[in-house]
Chain A
Amino acid sequence: MTDLASRGAPHAAPTAAHPKRVRLHPFGLDGAPTLLISLTTGAALIGLWFLVSWLRLVPPLFLPGPEEVLTQFLAILDDGYAGATLGEHVSASLFRISTAALLAASFGIPLGLAMGLNRWVKGVFDTPIEFYWPLPPLAYLPLMIIWLGIGELSKIVLLTLAMFAPICLSAQAGVRSLPIERVNAALSLGATRWQLFLDIVLPSALPEILTGLRIGIGVGWSTLVAAELIAATRGIGFMIMSASHFLAADVVFVGIGVIAAWAFAFSYGMRLLERALVPWKGKS
């Protein structure tokens, strides 16, 4: 065996062991990995931040250095901010976002499905949704305060409204992406209307619904600061607004960092959920 292999080696080795592997010339991204580039960019940005604050190119009042922000973060972690611990601020915001997401999903998904299936539901709800959903939440924020007061309710309703539209619209798109052959196949297998909905329409729309949820939650985070403008005493958004009144840019940076971290975690969680619930996505 060894003999044969070593004798064969001089002929086979240079080409068979390290053949020059080729592939079609790619166009665009073509699945090329970007992680390393992204990490490098992140490191470069932080390095630039260091450099700018170290050279005092911008007064620290406007742009605190990374080490200041870190110190401030640790200080808030220890002592809290404005009468509440960081944990209390975060959980207040999380509670609002989660409640609003739950409400938006439990109204938006059924309504979106119904709008995709029924002419009347679509006709009736299209106008109000198309009217309100491009509005910036800050524009109808005063109305929320006038109508619903300054308690928890107006904050949650504001967030719910912001999240509702993308969730509802994507559920609707999910129904519309359902191929008619799939419906016909189910009908010729004897499906009743209810079975058709449960076994065909709903799972077919699920990938789009999950995309809508992900977008909705993203919109929720970006609306959080607006919602917590309303007479809040807790919440990350409140922390940022309150800090801005005292020109405490380092606290603002801490708040932004916390929101970014949580928004990223939510988005990542949704991706995992997608992978678990719709593993077939993009494969058929």
Chain B
Amino acid sequence: MLHVHNASVFFSARDGRVVHALDRATLDIDANSVVVALGASGCGKSTLLNAIAGFLPLSDGSITLDGQPVDRPGADRGVVFQKDTLLPWKSVLDNVALGLKFAGVPARDRRERANELLRMVGLDGFAHSAPHELSGGMRQRVGIARALATDPKILLMDEPFGALDSLTREQMQELLVDVWARTGKRIFFITHSIEEALFLGTTVVVMSPRPGRIVARFDLDFVRRFAQERDVRAILSDPRFAELYDEIRNLVHRPHDRSHEGGDRPQ
């Protein structure tokens, strides 16, 4: 289990002021769950992901993965970035196999495993292409395959489909559900699309900015249903989907009343 306990992050802004990016976030990500963090920009969702990935130390609080404290990046947490970070000098296959190379897996084994993953994300036949020959959606598929290659305990996804057109985005969401259903990986996913959050999350946490904090939490089953029935329309036309959409929309747009929380806002 990934356990985030009372995680707080303070930055200093360029003008010297203190920015309270994340305020006492507490979150559990159990096996086989997809936790989606949803919120407007500046709500601390990327900060939370960077802390879980180990790119950013916490000012206060703790993060543990299966009991081990998280304090640096590692292959037990696979990261898919918004901007693709594939290496332009390596083929698609070698990009996917990069983590295995770092782990010292023999070339033949890692090629085999990478090919397997490319098949899973629907890119067989592109193993020897260069990344710049692929479309944005295909590159994110490579990114997902690369993050899965080292068999991480959790997949961290930072608005991975944010830069894609809406048609590609839908395809990628379905692909991710497939990958999730097949690998059983737990996933922490960040988005600012309410629809994406509802569609993908077994749990959706809504975050609000200044200071970034978790303001609501919803447990959902749309994604499990989609994994079984594979009927997008049934889910989108479910009245509960529309209800939740409105509820979350109101939450995201409502300025939060912080009067009862005390004056912990940095000046």
**Could you write out 21 A-B pairs with CB less than 8 Å apart?**
A179-B85, A181-B83, A182-B85, A184-B53, A184-B55, A184-B73, A185-B81, A186-B98, A188-B53, A188-B73, A188-B74, A189-B98, A189-B99, A189-B150, A190-B74, A190-B150, A199-B101, A203-B89, A280-B130, A283-B88, A284-B131
Q: A188-B74, A280-B130, A284-B131 are in contact. Are A195 and B102 (CB under 8 A)?
A: yes
Return chain B residues, CB-CB under 8 Å to A186. Answer: 98, 102
**Chain A interface (Cβ < 8 Å from any Cβ of B):** 179, 181-182, 184-192, 195, 199-200, 203, 206, 278-280, 283-284
Residue B78 CB within 8 A of the other chain: yes
Q: Are A190 and B102 in contact (CB under 8 A)?
A: yes
Q: Are A203 and B87 in contact (CB under 8 A)?
A: yes
Return chain A residues, CB-CB under 8 Å to B132. Answer: 280, 283-284
Q: Are A191 and B79 in contact (CB under 8 A)?
A: no
Return chain B residues, CB-CB under 8 Å to A185. Answer: 79, 81, 85
Q: How far is the CA of A200 from the CA of B85 in the complex (A)?
A: 11
Return chain A residues, CB-CB under 8 Å to B216. Answer: none
Q: Are B87 and A188 in contact (CB under 8 A)?
A: no
Q: Are A280 and B88 in contact (CB under 8 A)?
A: yes
Q: Are B89 and A280 in contact (CB under 8 A)?
A: yes
Residue B54 CB within 8 A of the other chain: yes
Q: Are B102 and A189 in contact (CB under 8 A)?
A: yes
Return chain B residues, CB-CB under 8 Å to A192. Answer: 102
Main SS of chain A's interface residues? helix
Residue B153 CB within 8 A of the other chain: no
Residue B146 CB within 8 A of the other chain: yes
Q: How far is the CA of A199 from the CA of B131 in the complex (A)?
A: 16
Closest to B99 in A: A189
Return chain A residues, CB-CB under 8 Å to B101. Answer: 199
Q: How far is the CA of A26 from the CA of B93 in the complex (A)?
A: 38
Cβ contacts B242-264/A at 8 Å (1 or 0 each): 00000000000000000000000
Return chain B residues, CB-CB under 8 Å to A182. Answer: 85, 87
Q: Which of B78-132 contact A (CB under 8 A)?
A: 78-79, 81, 83, 85-89, 98-99, 101-103, 130-132
Closest to B149 in A: A189
Q: Are B79 and A184 in contact (CB under 8 A)?
A: yes
What's the minimum C-beta distance from B52 to chain A, rounded to whole angstroms?
10
Q: Which of A179, A189, A199 contacts B146 (CB 8 A)?
A: A189
Closest to A187 in B: B73
Residue B77 CB within 8 A of the other chain: yes
What's the minimum C-beta distance from B185 to chain A, rounded to whole angstroms?
15
Q: Are A190 and B75 in contact (CB under 8 A)?
A: yes
Other A-B pairs beyond A184-B73, A190-B74, A284-B131, 10, CB < 8 Å: A179-B85, A181-B81, A181-B85, A182-B87, A185-B85, A188-B75, A189-B75, A189-B78, A189-B98, A199-B102
Q: How far is the CA of A266 from the CA of B182 in the complex (A)?
A: 55
Q: Are B89 and A278 in contact (CB under 8 A)?
A: yes
Closest to B82 in A: A181
Q: How far is the CA of A182 from the CA of B88 in the complex (A)?
A: 11
Q: Which of B53, B54, B102 contacts A191 (CB 8 A)?
A: B102
